[in-house]
Structure 1
């Protein structure tokens, strides 16, 4: 593979001189008057790091099983969003990544700054940081991970209970932080875009002693922007520092801290339905928020990671992460009732969420029956303590408001109305092995035992689940050096907080995840392809009772019951990596059909489980190095398409219901970049080129929310990157 100004050219290698699991990179020769780098030869060992690789794929990932496997060796649907792809698409937050990743869905119906992520029909409720799970609650706090500190994002679709323990069978999103480098380097990035969108970033890394055994890295980022909604403003700030120390030839310690602050002056920001149960035809620039509204969130994270490599190729990793997440929200939403028409409701809340994660994992090879196999053993502990302080806004403001010409209201005198503290603690032990049954046949077996406890201090209630077993099995058969077929199975476990009419907690959600697929690996791993069929069964989901007459008063008409079976069937197709020496591609098509198979309400059987999530989604991102003299020009584009989403809305108790929908739509983004010299790169991204008007989330209720949330109109961002 030969390096060009922006990437690597594929080339034939002498396989007798290259060891397995390595990739040889030879830099492109250039004429004396070109600006190419000096001729060098590198041998890169198989590593998941994507920074500086100029690729849309990677050689290995371990999010699915904790074992270091290539995508072809992993018996689940996997995607890696690399640093090159992050830069090409100008991703600044985790929302941008989810919008681009195959099989993942962004829903903004709870507010533009409180996005919900979905996959395979279910909400994503965990975000992993370097492999340590952390609760993701976009409704409560919703800090959107800043991409400036990340090397890549690894995504595993389907159930991942072997690694995360509890969770929905949707997907695992593992954000992998940048690590310090011994090679001194500094990069400066600045961008400017429509709606006064200004962003700056600095990234500096170097060895801190003469031997290079101590290395440090600092990343800072700040963004100040308006939005297409009139009067809406946002700020995003990040400080990240990491220190890596070689304690000995066998031991490496990584420790660091990150601080992120997000601000937005629109809490909900959505557009309600009209009196006819349909979208109100207001301009996209309409902003129902008031001038005093404030959504400020902060996330501080400390982390430490110790790795020890034994002489027999076994490795021990011990990692600890502690985060403090707090937010204060003051805002309004438009509420519709037949008596008042449109009126404002106001709310203020203060959240404090502390997360702690500890993980110890030991893995390595062993010999059995004349073959080498691999095993892993892990202990983990995670806890989340959440405290919510509620402040009442004092009722409704401004009856019969005109959504087309809103009269804004003054900030109410919010009064403290109580607090609630909850705590979740989970302890787990997992074990797994990868059996080398034959040269072409591998079997992965694993299991996890969890102890789970939930406490609600406000209601002096809680519950425990002990010795919950999550099982995993995956088999991979190599058809030839480039293709493998696989099958995998895992069970599902997700505790619930809902209570029945006797104040008893509804039993945990259980179920299973099946997947069959085929994977391809080409050009020595520079291109990966996959196709997968899946089925997910989820039983015992809590359902709010339609008749709340027997519900105790202290449960606020929210009594629930276990309700049948939800089944999600579908398939994924994906291609990621290099199609040629100059052409990088990331493409995926997903089809999901999630329906009620059993339910206490017979009318629900056969109905769509999440109608406001598309069944079909196609995503394609590509970049191409133009064949100019110095290969300095690069062009690219992103195509996004999804089919119709809808909600059936009850007309405030009337006999007629309404169907609210967003019809199928496609979006096109374009990119052009020019590498001025070795140090300076210029890039222009044009988003929503055809200025398509669409909703990123639609309303499901006339009197409450979710609400309709428009997607961004056409806009452009110009970025300058300087490295030295």
Structure 2
């Protein structure tokens, strides 16, 4: 996915999350949102309790032993309906088209809401997710997108494996708990406070590629064993109010947030593993001696203070002025070397946006945004990462073609420095590039063309390059970022008669050539993929068949470096049935 460079955000990704509401704020909406990084804002909102009883169950089965079940329950807990709940839970078990691929996911998210009087509301939220899976590393570029002279590698090949023989190479457990408290002082003024504690636990063990011999079939490998333990705490408090100064209306937001990240990388070891013959793989060979690579702890404390004023100068003219000050302190301890490093930093990030409607269906907008984000972690050579900075200029136009159909055209220039990217030499580590720049044009259209006929489409032109760096050549294109991308998803649902509720969907996706690494040593070819769906909706019953890669196109979905090229899924089918009661 290329959202960090502002390219298209596929519609199927938005609709896939059933336990949360996913909002993608871009263009005029993102201009007036105020907080967030350049490129747009993704806002994930947990499903909230309902005041009326609601119960839903859902089941999905599909290709490659895909099974998923989910429930969504909600309603009041007392007669006055001042206390309500929501419970989402899901379990998924699936394989895939890659050898050894196996995913098992359990998820549960309870929410409690309390109306404390007429003007105060408290929401308590929690989430638990356990995910066991085989970490897929892709394939070498030679043998997939580049010729070997001795044949092509099958797309189901997996050159990785667990060094200790487990079925899965990654185990991740995340737990979250927090609250949101909102109190209205009056009709125009309110205060909001939220706190979220997140706990991330991971065990990783896998073999990775280090080099390919001149015979283009002997892949040399290393292995990693490591444990991760991250604790993240976030406290945010703000005051929101509306008032007028003469004929000018203001919506003022002022607040602060405290953020603490305590990252542990424990028992992190590595070593050499037996080479693998890509055309005649023999798995389960012994691994070499273990070498301690790291046992570190990084504590990052940051404080942000922000203010913004959304000013309505006239009914057709809105201006946003905002600013944010961030300061942080980061301390890293190396328990093997018995050393400690510390860095601090601060920055002011202004934000300016304007939306003008010359006529009611047309909105012209422009924005200027800067961002500052402390980077967590360290490089392979134990170098401390510097904060990431970003600057974006954005202008565009949104047109409401009718009451149901709208189109948006945007031009942007986005520059980011100290961007984290995969280390091309040391698997599992990151490096920072000096400065990256993306310039482009986006055209999007969405809405209802005729009753029952909906369309979501877009085109993006992206010129994304390295502007400054000490590792890669200036002018190189950013990897995995196509210059041209296009998508179109359209659905039609029969509106009346005995077949009312029956619908059909068709999706077309084109992704142009992409550089496979930041050194621009190879390219992933362009591809065109077709998806489709058949669905039926009647009262509270829903059923759907989704077809991905309808014509079984052989394509490459992503390329990260010379040993991490990913084939796209072959033709797959998933059937889903759900019932609300």
Distance in 1 of aligned mates of 2:565 and 2:407: 36
Q: Secondary structure at the match of 1:257?
A: strand
> If each structure's strand is expressed as a fraction of its own residues, which one has the higher value?
2
Distance in 2 of aligned mates of 1:629 and 1:541: 56
Q: 1:200 to 1:424 in 2, by over 3 A?
A: same
Q: Are the aligned partners of 2:144 and 2:565 in contact in 1 as well (CA < 8 Å)?
A: no
Q: What is the aligned counterpart of 1:595 among 447, 456, 465? A: 465
Deviation at 1:295, TM superposition (A): 0.8
Matched, 1:453 2:324: no
Matched, 1:472 2:351: yes
Matched, 1:229 2:86: no
Q: What is the aligned counterpart of 1:685 among 527, 542, 546? A: 546
Matched, 1:694 2:532: no
Q: What is the aligned counterpart of 1:289 among 132, 156, 160? A: 160
Q: Are the aligned partners of 1:257 and 1:302 in contact in 2 as well (CA < 8 Å)?
A: yes
Matched, 1:463 2:343: yes
Matched, 1:330 2:201: no
Q: 1:425 to 1:476 in 2, by over 3 A?
A: same
Matched, 1:674 2:536: yes
Moved more, 145-154 or 235-244: 145-154
Distance in 2 of aligned mates of 1:414 and 1:616: 47
Matched, 1:486 2:365: yes
Q: Are the aligned partners of 2:436 and 2:467 in contact in 1 as well (CA < 8 Å)?
A: yes
Q: 1:284 to 1:154 in 2, by over 3 A?
A: same
Of structures 1 and 2, the one with the larger relative CO (CA 8 A, separation 6+) is 1
Q: 1:405 to 1:600 in 2, by over 3 A?
A: closer
Q: 1:215 to 1:300 in 2, by over 3 A?
A: same
Distance in 2 of aligned mates of 1:715 and 1:618: 22
Matched, 1:529 2:407: yes
Alignment RMSD (CA, Å): 3.5
Q: Which residue of structure 2 aligns with residue 574 of structure 1?
A: 444
Matched, 1:618 2:486: yes
Distance in 2 of aligned mates of 1:228 and 1:426: 43
Deviation at 1:326, TM superposition (A): 0.8
Deviation at 1:384, TM superposition (A): 1.2
Moved more, 150-159 or 308-317: 150-159
Q: Which residue of structure 2 aligns with residue 716 of structure 1?
A: 573
Deviation at 1:449, TM superposition (A): 0.8
Q: Are the aligned partners of 1:229 and 1:286 in contact in 2 as well (CA < 8 Å)?
A: yes
Q: 1:716 to 1:660 in 2, by over 3 A?
A: same
Q: Secondary structure at the match of 2:358?
A: strand
Q: 1:170 to 1:414 in 2, by over 3 A?
A: farther
Give CA deviations for 1:159-195 in whole Å, capped at 9, x if unaligned: 999524xx6x344322111001011111110111011
Q: 1:421 to 1:411 in 2, by over 3 A?
A: farther
Distance in 1 of aligned mates of 2:508 and 2:7: 22
Q: Secondary structure at the match of 1:306?
A: strand
Q: Which residue of structure 1 aligns with residue 115 of structure 2?
A: 246
Q: 1:310 to 1:180 in 2, by over 3 A?
A: same
Q: 1:510 to 1:392 in 2, by over 3 A?
A: closer
Distance in 2 of aligned mates of 1:479 and 1:220: 47
Distance in 1 of aligned mates of 2:528 and 2:411: 25
Distance in 2 of aligned mates of 1:408 and 1:277: 24
Q: Secondary structure at the match of 1:708?
A: strand
Give CA deviations for 1:104-130 in whole Å, capped at 9, x if unaligned: 52xxxxxxxxxxx633389xxxxxxxx
Q: Which residue of structure 1 aligns with residue 4 of structure 2?
A: 118
Q: Which residue of structure 2 aligns with residue 520 of structure 1?
A: 399
Distance in 2 of aligned mates of 1:611 and 1:623: 33
Deviation at 1:229, TM superposition (A): 1.4
Q: Give matches, 1:119-518, under 5 Å.
A: 119-120=5-6, 147-156=17-26, 163-164=35-36, 169-264=38-133, 266-274=134-142, 278=146, 281-290=152-161, 291-292=165-166, 293-338=168-213, 341-397=218-274, 399=275, 401-410=276-285, 412=287, 415=290, 417=292, 418-458=294-334, 459-466=339-346, 468-495=347-374, 508-518=387-397
Deviation at 1:628, TM superposition (A): 4.3
Distance in 1 of aligned mates of 2:116 and 2:358: 43
Distance in 1 of aligned mates of 2:314 and 2:455: 33
Give CA deviations for 1:601-637 in whole Å, capped at 9, x if unaligned: 8x934332x0331122212222211244052211112
Distance in 2 of aligned mates of 1:671 and 1:345: 42
Deviation at 1:396, TM superposition (A): 2.7
Distance in 2 of aligned mates of 1:599 and 1:708: 24
Q: 1:184 to 1:560 in 2, by over 3 A?
A: closer
Q: Are the aligned partners of 1:162 and 1:471 in contact in 2 as well (CA < 8 Å)?
A: no
Distance in 1 of aligned mates of 2:33 and 2:345: 15
Q: Which residue of structure 1 aligns with residue 515 of structure 2?
A: 646
Distance in 2 of aligned mates of 1:213 and 1:559: 49
Q: Are the aligned partners of 1:272 and 1:699 in contact in 2 as well (CA < 8 Å)?
A: no
Distance in 1 of aligned mates of 2:348 and 2:169: 44
Between the two proteins, the alignment pairs up a number of residues equal to 556
What TM-score, normalized by structure 2, do the two folds share?
0.87
Give CA deviations for 1:480-509 in whole Å, capped at 9, x if unaligned: 111110111112334457999x99967645
Q: Which residue of structure 1 aligns with residue 11 of structure 2?
A: none
Give CA deviations for 1:300-350 in whole Å, capped at 9, x if unaligned: 110211111232322221111111011101111233254894233211111
Deviation at 1:693, TM superposition (A): 1.0
Deviation at 1:681, TM superposition (A): 1.7
Q: Are the aligned partners of 2:143 and 2:153 in contact in 1 as well (CA < 8 Å)?
A: no
Distance in 1 of aligned mates of 2:54 and 2:423: 60
Moved more, 407-416 or 615-624: 407-416
Stretches of structure 2 lacking an aligned partner (at least 5 in a row): 9-13
Distance in 1 of aligned mates of 2:55 and 2:297: 44
Q: 1:337 to 1:286 in 2, by over 3 A?
A: closer
Q: 1:385 to 1:561 in 2, by over 3 A?
A: closer
Q: 1:678 to 1:427 in 2, by over 3 A?
A: same
Q: Secondary structure at the match of 1:118?
A: helix
